[in-house]
Structure 1
Amino acid sequence: MRVVVVGAGLAGLAATCRLIDRGHDVVLVERTRLVGGKATSFTVDGVEVDNGQHVHLGCCTDYLDFVRSLGMSDALWNQRRFEVTVLRREGRPSRLFATRGLPPALSLLPSFAAYAPLRLAAKLEVVRGLRSAGETPGPGETFAAWLRRHGQGRAAIDGFWELFVVPALNGRLDEVAAADALFVIRTAFTGHPDAARIGWSRVPLARIAEAAAARAGSVRLRSGVVALLDDGGDVHGVRCNDGEEIVGDAVVLAVPPARAAAILGDPTRYGVTGLDRFQSRAIVDVHLWFDAAVDIGFAAIVGSPVQWVFEKQPGYLCCSLSAADTVVGRPEADLVELCHGELTAVLPRLGSARLVRGAVTRDPEATFIPAPGLHRPGSTTSRPNLAIAGAWTATGWPATMESAVRSGRAAADVLANAPRRATRELETARG
């Protein structure tokens, strides 16, 4: 087949590579000048930075396999065991880590017993909550409601649950589904310790995306797709905003819900519903360069708009603010000052380091909110040669790089049995 893949984010790139591996020809069409979508990088004041701090876990098997298949295993770094430093304004830092040799469900207990941000009563609340994480939540239940139902007080929520669930789902606890939050908790804290090992890319994310895009037969950048070529039977290509028509035997739409709806015109005609129910939240990343190494690796911060901070290189810190709709529009200088102040409050030794420069990357519509009752469509449509992909589709995962790769591979598999009319016959018929 000749397949047109619309969207060069991770979902579209994963679909492209899977199709190429199966012997098909791919035309990759992307409306921007960059490949990688939300997992790319670009130059800010002469320095290449990622457009967000993207981490993966040891359980992200499809994403890790995708990167390995590109010959870029060395580009990834992973912890040897799950370990997180937790910072706070008052008191010493704490570490949560998995202890080898203990059953998976007990591996965090030794470090949690010494976890300074919580007193004993709050720790016992968290332990009771973790023991209930395997249950099925009520229909339409938010995670905030689930926490209340399981007796979680304010201290336990602020000092533990918010710290991990808000960044993972990019949403407030009162707006995300309990089922999605419990998936995160089971993965990070009650499953196998290796599953929660945190990692990230040693190279700019654009290098991974470029390696995947290079496998396509053709790549069209700055080409926005506005409609499908549809004769009422099979889909046989796409129309771009400049009027160009790209013909193919099958199409993968690997774009966000609103764009997918616009391209489909009438989504219900293709058996796709609910695209108008997706709502998004912003993510802001503030990049700070100091004249000295801080030596923190990465850490979480209790009670701060900065949930996580990563030392990408000695002296280069990236502060990640999730569910950041209230600050995404603030001027760059304000955000740099905000994060600098938050860091110096929890890292007193940073006060002797000089801030050399700062920069901000922001995505007002970074990920969708996994709200209770939200229907996430699968890869299939009513047309056998049209599939959809994206981290927002029904992969069983939150909106992550793992979800994006799984969705792209699933869309490619959907097209395995699509009609294989020759492209030249379609072009002749349209001529």
Structure 2
Amino acid sequence: MSATGTNTGHVVVVGAGVAGLAAAHRLLRRGARVTVLEASGRVGGKLLPGEIAGVRVDLGAESMLARRPEAVSLAREVGLADRLQPPATATASIWTRGALRPMPKGHVMGVPGTAAALSGVLSDEGLARVERDADLPRTEIGEDVAVGEYVAARLGREVVDRLVEPLLGGVYAGDAYRISMRSAVPQLFQAARTHTSLTEAVRDIQAKAAAQQQTGPVFMGIEGGVGRLPLAVAESVRAHGGEILTGAPVTELRRVAAPAGEGEPRAADTGARDAGAGGREHAAWRVVAGDRVLHADAVIVAVPAPVAAGLLAAESPEAAAELRTVEYASMALVTLAYRRSEAALPEGSGFLVPPVDGRTIKASTFASRKWGWLADDDPDLIVLRTSVGRYGETEILRRDDADLVAVSRQDLAAATGLAATPVETRVTRWTDGLPQYPVGHHARVARVREHLAKLPGLAVCGAQYDGVGIPACIASAHAAVDQIGGDLRAVQELTAHPVQSLHGGAGE
């Protein structure tokens, strides 16, 4: 491999989620020979296109942050430029204190610049508590702090419980009182380190954003669903000579000094080669997937933390031990289709639900309002999604599909008055779908990469490292490709400054 940007060796990518596919796409553009190995029978990971009542929908993540370039740029590179679509409406609500209330403006992940920004969502007592922030002494946050813990100390628990929690829950399906501020909301963490007042820090962030004069939509979708993105990337990978094997779980990953010929049966796994691309000596890699044995100049591991830990245990037990500590949240998406004539809905794209209100669903998206292509597919149909399940909630996800549909319909009726019977429903379960970013996550990622730096020709990427959103996963993949080419700048930057994941995981 070469640090000049031209890679002519063979690279094996383990995992065909959006991170693995983005890595393969970048490698091929740099001249590498690429084999992607995917354990499941499909590509795409948490991006999953589907149908309900004849209408195309996403059964996983359904939008991507557009204020970062990675996801939108990749979509354009693989021929989806004319299918990119912003949401038809970005007006959302929050279902709290017994009513649907307009989502406040003027906040950073639920943290307001002024108490007035949360008027209508917080009680009078909660608003008064926010005002006290300006008079409080400085709160030291050290190397990291839980978002909920810090915000509650400055502004009161009501801000966390009514707004920060549902917004962060929409990204991580997690607990705001455990989630790392440094990793999950890095711009807020940096501002809080240099300001005594948290509301002043938020106003400073807002002023800097206004000075940058960012235009265009914050989020972007793809006609037919963002689940089309990995399919298009996979098609491009194959068109440029890359090989993608599904149903090919990797069972062994080892460094070898003298690799055999490609694809030989294990019994014939002998032979020798001392140098990789350009004749530079290096350690090569042996990858076993089923009855295939492949040898590569480099390997990129783009699978969830538990799987990555198993693969890396032989060569880096220290990195594997760190990865085994990564916790995940499980959740389910309930997709419901109604006849438009029977489904009167409030305005907007949907609503979030604070856990403190004791409801079962954590969010609902009025998908047909949010994405124009859904109405084009069938103007007489309305499609909604609800999400169920948060970190630590296991009982609700033990219920069968019919029960999850029933509780979703019950909460939808209470929130919106929707009492019609859906014409079709689908439940999509994402078991261990979202990695959690607790306090100290950044340090854990740094330790993983420090251990793996001892293994030439190996890099990791994916949602458990630098952000759970689609752009973050792609940025992680690009950094991994640069790393095996000898350029460490991108991976060092991501480790120090994760990508803020405002949206785009498997949740709403």
Instruction: Bin the TM-score by the shorter chain.
Output: 0.7 to 0.9
Deviation at 1:113, TM superposition (A): 4.3
1:425 maps to what in 2? none
2:350 maps to what in 1? 298
Aligned 8 A contact 2:309 2:319 in 1: no
What are the within-5 Å matches in structure 2 for residues 276-291 of structure 1? Answer: 276-291=324-339
- Percentage identity across aligned positions? 22
Provide the rounded CA distance (Å) in 2 between the counterparts of 1:130 and 1:331: 49
Deviation at 1:80, TM superposition (A): 8.7
2:287 maps to what in 1? 238
Judged with a 3 Å threshold, the aligned counterparts in structure 2 of structure 1 residues 288 and 235 are, in CA distance, closer, same or farther, namely same
Q: 1:387 aligns with which of 456, 459, 463?
A: 459
Deviation at 1:39, TM superposition (A): 1.6
Q: Deviations over 1:194-236 (max 9, x none)?
A: 5982443332333211111123221111111111242256133
Structure 2 unaligned regions, length at least 5: 1-8, 192-201, 258-281, 369-380, 488-508
1:141 maps to what in 2? 145
Indicate the SS of the match to 1:346. Answer: helix
Deviation at 1:120, TM superposition (A): 3.8
Provide the rounded CA distance (Å) in 1 between the counterparts of 2:397 and 2:427: 10
Deviation at 1:332, TM superposition (A): 0.7
1:210 aligns with 2:231: yes
Deviation at 1:297, TM superposition (A): 2.1
Q: 1:221 aligns with which of 246, 264, 274?
A: 246
Provide the rounded CA distance (Å) in 2 between the counterparts of 1:91 and 1:298: 13
Deviation at 1:366, TM superposition (A): 0.9
Aligned 8 A contact 1:81 1:197 in 2: no
| More moved, 200-209 vs 244-253 | 200-209
Deviation at 1:129, TM superposition (A): 6.5
Provide the rounded CA distance (Å) in 2 between the counterparts of 1:183 and 1:410: 19
Deviation at 1:378, TM superposition (A): 3.6
Structure 1 unaligned regions, length at least 5: 419-431
| More moved, 24-33 vs 173-182 | 173-182
2:28 maps to what in 1? 20
Deviation at 1:90, TM superposition (A): 3.0
Judged with a 3 Å threshold, the aligned counterparts in structure 2 of structure 1 residues 92 and 283 are, in CA distance, closer, same or farther, namely closer
Aligned 8 A contact 2:172 2:329 in 1: no
Indicate the SS of the match to 2:398. Answer: coil
Aligned 8 A contact 2:95 2:351 in 1: yes
Indicate the SS of the match to 1:96. Answer: coil
**TM-score (ref. length: structure 2):** 0.70
2:164 maps to what in 1? 161
**TM-score (ref. length: structure 1):** 0.81
Provide the rounded CA distance (Å) in 2 between the counterparts of 1:138 and 1:316: 45
Provide the rounded CA distance (Å) in 2 between the counterparts of 1:136 and 1:207: 45
Aligned 8 A contact 1:283 1:321 in 2: yes
Indicate the SS of the match to 1:290. Answer: strand
Judged with a 3 Å threshold, the aligned counterparts in structure 2 of structure 1 residues 205 and 197 are, in CA distance, closer, same or farther, namely closer
Provide the rounded CA distance (Å) in 2 between the counterparts of 1:197 and 1:28: 32
1:5 maps to what in 2? 13
What are the within-5 Å matches in structure 2 for residues 334-373 of structure 1? Answer: 334-348=403-417, 350-351=418-419, 353-373=420-440
1:415 maps to what in 2? 484
1:332 aligns with 2:357: no
CA RMSD of aligned residues (A): 3.6
Q: 2:221 aligns with which of 192, 197, 200?
A: 200
